[in-house]
Structure 1
């Protein structure tokens, strides 16, 4: 009988050669770790008699990366490129701010990551998709 903890096969004898086939992953790239990723931001403050309005534009880049430890072509994640922007208003002498923001301005959609289920689940692959263009409003305070 199999003695592996949490064996879902319940009472079925283990295969003579063990529960799996060892795979050598030596030299493979670490999953979800691109060789290059960065973000560049440009900020500009506009002072008025009533307060300060800050504009921000950001470019985010993440290079191609492996989706799993096996470095399979089918789970490789392509590079991502995003533009984000925000405008924040802070009144003079006030302890609050109002921010309008937009993320992924070009509405690009990418596979964000891959996950492979175990062989017990049929080895299915699951993907997450990056968020589409999103808009937001934030109100905050400082204390």
Structure 2
């Protein structure tokens, strides 16, 4: 299992393709914080709920100084359909070889219905403007995750 990131650690920089096939480099280092959330599969019920929660909270998060990026092992074509169907206005990035998820500790052993396998662990890492981990959450729940993240970041309205 990949080592999980901890507060204060250097966040691994990476470049992945977005839903439009363009390269996006993270962390942005734009003087803003970056919320990187890892999700298993676009257009599934839990991942759709989580993405729509981020979409619906995006203006508030951005006004608080946070950018949002979603990362999954899906190909660019699937991300494009998902973004269009759900009107997602933040970058969705394709990590088909799982290298970025592994670097962030979001790829590892999972169990489902008694079977053990390797897969994406639903996780969120918040990176500060200097590229350091501000918050790392693993095995998060899709439903209610954004609300919990807002509380943990002390952004409740």
Calculate the TM-score normalised by the size of structure 1. Answer: 0.22
Higher relative contact order (CA closer than 8 Å, sequence separation 6+):
2
- The structure carrying a bigger strand percent of its residues is 1
Calculate the TM-score normalised by the size of structure 2. Answer: 0.21
User: Between Structure 1 and Structure 2, whose CA radius of gyration is higher?
Assistant: 1
